[in-house]
Structures are given as C-alpha cells and as structure tokens.
Amino acid sequence: SQKIEQNSEALNIQEGKTATLTCNYTNYSPAYLQWYRQDPGRGPVFLLLIRENEKEKRKERLKVTFDTTLKQSLFHITASQPADSATYLCALDITGTASKLTFGTGTRLQVTL
Amino acid sequence: DVKVTQSSRYLVKRTGEKVFLECVQDMDHENMFWYRQDPGLGLRLIYFSYDVKMKEKGDIPEGYSVSREKKERFSLILESASTNQTSMYLCASSSVRGRVSYEQYFGPGTRLTVT
C-alpha cells in the first residue's frame, strides 16, 4: 500500500542548531513534493515545492532535498529559532498534476533557548 | 495575499443533524479541497473540485457530499452527522498553471464536535 512516513516523535533542538526532518515514501513515484508548516489550531501553510528533477531547493533558512532513488526528502532549517517550533508536513503528488496531494502525519519541531 | 475563509471556527452539532461547512477563496483558484485532520491520521482528503459543479471523491468520502455552484465557494455537507465525524475540517484551494496545480492555500479550519 502507499505510505508516507514522517517521524511521529517530536524533534527537540537547541536554538541556533540545524533541524533536519525526514519524509520517506514507498510505492510512489511523485512528480512533486511539498513541505508545509502547521501551527496548533491553524491550517497548514505552504513552504516549499521541489520537483522530481530537482535535487535541492532553498528559501532563506530552509533547504529541501529530494532523492527519488532513496524515496526520501529531507527538510532542513538552519540557525533555528523558537519561532520555528511547529509541525511540519510533507505532501506528495501522486497524480502527476499536483491536483491531489497525499500528506504525511507531520513531525513536531520544538526549538528551545 | 490569498485568503481562504471558513464559515465557522468551532461548531457543535447533534447526531443526525445536517451540517453545512462553507469555504470561500478570493484568488480565483480552480481547485478546491476539503480535508479532515485527526490526531495520528494526518490530513485526509474528503472531496476535491477542479471546476464549478465538478467534483471528485477523495480518500474518505463516505458520509459527506459537496457542492460547488460558484468558483469561489465550496461547501461540505454532512447529511446526517455522526460522532465519528467529530474532527478538524480544513478547506484549501490551489491554482492551475498549464496542466499542473501547485501549492495549496488552507483556511483556518473548523473544529466540529458531534454529540
């Protein structure tokens, strides 16, 4: 069956360090992969999209990698801050048109002083 | 800024009631989506619409129906609410460029409790 795995355990890191979150998938060949941030009681907010032919994408302190051989995406936040504390969701397009996304359950990041 | 609004943040309904959840987007997006989010299960797609009056079932459509009479508005209907439909409901929209849709913009969510 199709599966997207994100670490369900919270990731606790110290301010200033790099946070790395993992998204693994099986039985998909997604054309796109997206990352979203969700704060408690709010809807997810789009962060980054990476295509299957892109190895890496950056936006300010964020970096996403996409390894279609390993079926894995890594999401990095450099110089992390307490304001980065949130749940981060990865989402895959399995249709090739990005019309419908399948979301992982998310990983909660806690950045402490 | 894209804005997706949902009619209620919190809603309490009784078992058997008919429930309407409304979603409006202001960016002329072609696609609109309804998800529910439950702890440990993540976001699950209920229905999606790619055009006015057009809809497709998502992963968990049972017990729900939808209506899209205008491009900016997408309604989710619970014909006869049940306690297992207690959840956070999220609406989203996305644009289409060429034949590809891109990032989704979410509303703030409606926390529905069915008693």
pLDDT band at A7 (very low <50, low <70, confident <90, very high): confident
User: Chain B residue closest to A44 (CA)?
Assistant: B106
Instruction: Specify the pLDDT at position A108.
Output: 96
Over 80: is that where the pLDDT of A105 sits?
yes
Strand locations in chain A, DSSP E?
A: 3-6, 11-14, 19-26, 32-38, 45-51, 56-59, 62-67, 72-77, 86-93, 101-103, 107-112
| Non-local CB neighbours of B91 within 8 Å, separated by 6+ positions | B4, B6, B21, B23, B25, B32, B33, B34, B35, B74, B76, B106, B107
Per-residue tokens: A95 = 């249709």
Mutate to test the interface with B, among A46, A57, A108 (most CBs of B within 10 A): A46
Instruction: Specify the pLDDT at position B11.
Output: 97
Over 90: is that where the pLDDT of B4 sits?
yes
pLDDT tens digits, one per residue of A69-96: 999 999 999 999 999 999 999 998 766 6
Mutate to test the interface with B, among A87, A90, A99, A102 (most CBs of B within 10 A): A99
Phi and psi at B95, nearest 5°, equal: -95, 165
Instruction: Specify the pLDDT at position A11.
Output: 95
Instruction: Specify the pLDDT at position A8.
Output: 79
Of A21-35, A95-109, B86-100, the one with minimum mean pLDDT is A95-109
The enclosing H or E element of B111 equals: strand B110-114
pLDDT tens digits, one per residue of B59-99: 899 999 999 999 999 999 999 999 999 999 999 999 877 66
CB-nearest partner of B43 from A42, A99, A103? A103
Contact A90, A75 (CB under 8 A): yes
Average pLDDT on A9-25 reads 95
Residue B102 identity: Y
Interface of A with B (CB under 8 A): 8, 34, 41-46, 49, 89, 97-106
Phi and psi at A19, nearest 5°, equal: -95, 135
How far lies B70's CA from each of B31, B50, B53, B102, in Å?
12, 12, 8, 21
- Unique residue bearing structure tokens 């034949």: B99
Average pLDDT on A26-45 reads 90
Instruction: Specify the pLDDT at position B95.
Output: 87
Over 60: is that where the pLDDT of B107 sits?
yes
Among A58, A55, A56, smallest CA distance to A69 is for A55
- Report the share of chain A in percent with pLDDT over 70: 93
Looking at residue A84, the DSSP 8-state letter turns out to be: G
Q: How far apart are CA A92 and CA A25, in angstroms?
A: 9
